[in-house]
Amino acid sequence: RVLSLELNKDRHVERMHRSGVNTLDIEPVEGRYMLSGGSDGVIILYDLENLSKTPSYTCKAVCSVGRSHPHVHAFSVETVQWYPHDTGMFTSSSFDKTLKIWDTNTLQPADVFHFEGTVYSHHMSPVATMHCLIAVGTKSPKVQLCDLKSGSCSHILQGHKQEVLAVSWSPRHEYILATASADSRVKLWDVRRSSGCLSTLDQHNGEKSKGSSEAANTAHNGRVNGLCYTNDGLHLLTIGTDDRMRLWNSSTGENTLVNYGKVCNASRKGLKFAVSCGCNPEFAFIPYGSSIAIYTIFTGELVTMLQGHYSTVNCCVFQPNFQELYSGSKDCNILAWIPALRESIPDDASETSLPQQPLNPAYEDVWSTSDDEG
């Protein structure tokens, strides 16, 4: 289904944004409601379900925090995220130096966190049961942890040298956090430890000579502005302005050396990309200019480019229940990419009469032995 994703002429997302769409999130409980955040500070909540039951329909906006809303963000919304456990709450962060916790039913902020600098990214753990920490990446090199329970920003992780462009909790271990910075580094933290930092990812796997001019332990040769765990939490994908994407073993910190070729990335801020869930093999969906590139994660193969936006794509989000993809762009549009329906084969057609299709290389068996997995 992922290999047959296409722009669907029967599915539209109501055009509500008057400026670029920076961030999207689909709630994990039902997979039905989607949030979008715009560069004018507006947040819109969509219902993706086809209530009309007709083949052709438009995903309607249910409600919005518009420009006239008293608590609307003053500047660009960079990240929106649903509370992972129910749809009664969502979060948004903005270049206006705030992180807001919203009550979905009243569309009023239940809490607001203020920071000294621009907020690039925030993330709540999808699996945490023992803490309610929101990790926040800002213009400051310090990673902030805001506690939803106490309403305070009690915790700070120090180690980066420049602004923190992306943050992501592990979907496997609730205390493990990955952060990406303009200092070319990606750090893994255990937030229970006073020292915090577990490791700094090294693209050379420790093999670069000490006398080298290149700084030690860099993940990329440029700003690292995107990161995303695979759904099992065993690997971490990072993207940098060196036009490279790297896949890391998240437990050993080792660069797996998968070669994705040139992954063009001119973004000056955080890049919001997505990975598939429950597919074999797994795929990564990467904003690539005005297109979206689909890569097989473990082989590095560029499978296809989805084209349909008129301007830079800023974000994409995967809907795992139906293997659908939604993307947001500077062109103010949100597009729905839906698997093309296969023509059904009549029952009386014997198998031998069917033309043999060559196997798409993305389907070929790439299993490794369990020894290789460590």
What CATH number does residue 217 fall under? 2.130.10.10
Residue 329 sits at the vertex; the CA angle it makes with 70 and 23, to the nearest 5 degrees, is 50
Q: 92 in a domain, yes or no?
A: yes
Query: Which is more confident, 4 or 367?
Result: 4
Would you place residue 347 in the very low, low, confident or very high pLDDT band (cuts 50, 70, 90)?
Answer: low
Q: What is the pLDDT of residue 211?
A: 53
Q: 364 in a domain, yes or no?
A: no
Q: What is the mean pLDDT of residues 69-82?
A: 97
Residue 53: exposed, middle, or buried by beta-carbon count in 10 A (0-12, 13-18, 19+)? exposed
- pTM for the full predicted model: 0.89
d(CA 294, CA 4): 11
d(CA 6, CA 145): 39
Query: Which is more confident, 362 or 326?
Result: 326
Q: 372 in a domain, yes or no?
A: no
Tell me which residue range forms the domain holding 110: 2-339
pLDDT tens readout for residues 93-111: 999 999 999 999 999 999 9
The DSSP output letter for 185 is -
Strands 291-296 and 302-307: antiparallel
pLDDT tens readout for residues 229-270: 999 999 999 999 999 999 999 999 999 999 999 999 888 889
Q: What is the pLDDT of residue 29?
A: 94
Q: 354 in a domain, yes or no?
A: no
Average pLDDT taken over every residue of the chain: 90
Beta partners for residue 227, in sequence order: 238
Would you place residue 213 in the very low, low, confident or very high pLDDT band (cuts 50, 70, 90)?
Answer: low
Q: What is the pLDDT of residue 266?
A: 81
The answer to whether residues 53 and 70 touch, using CB atoms and an 8 Å cutoff, is no
Please count the structural domains in the chain: 1
d(CA 157, CA 124): 16
pLDDT tens readout for residues 142-152: 999 999 998 88
Q: 223 in a domain, yes or no?
A: yes
Q: 371 in a domain, yes or no?
A: no
Least-confidence region, from 46-50, 146-150, 344-348, 351-355: 351-355
| Residue 215 reports pLDDT greater than 90 | no
Q: What is the mean pLDDT of residues 133-158?
A: 93
pLDDT tens readout for residues 34-50: 999 999 999 999 999 99
d(CA 121, CA 343): 42
| Residue 345 reports pLDDT greater than 60 | no
Q: Please enumerate in sequence order all residues whose Cβ is within 8 A of that of 305, keeping only pairs 6 or more positions apart, or say none.
A: 288, 291, 292, 293, 294
Residue corresponding to tokens 């073993």: 249
Q: 191 in a domain, yes or no?
A: yes
Q: What is the pLDDT of residue 357?
A: 52
Q: 345 in a domain, yes or no?
A: no
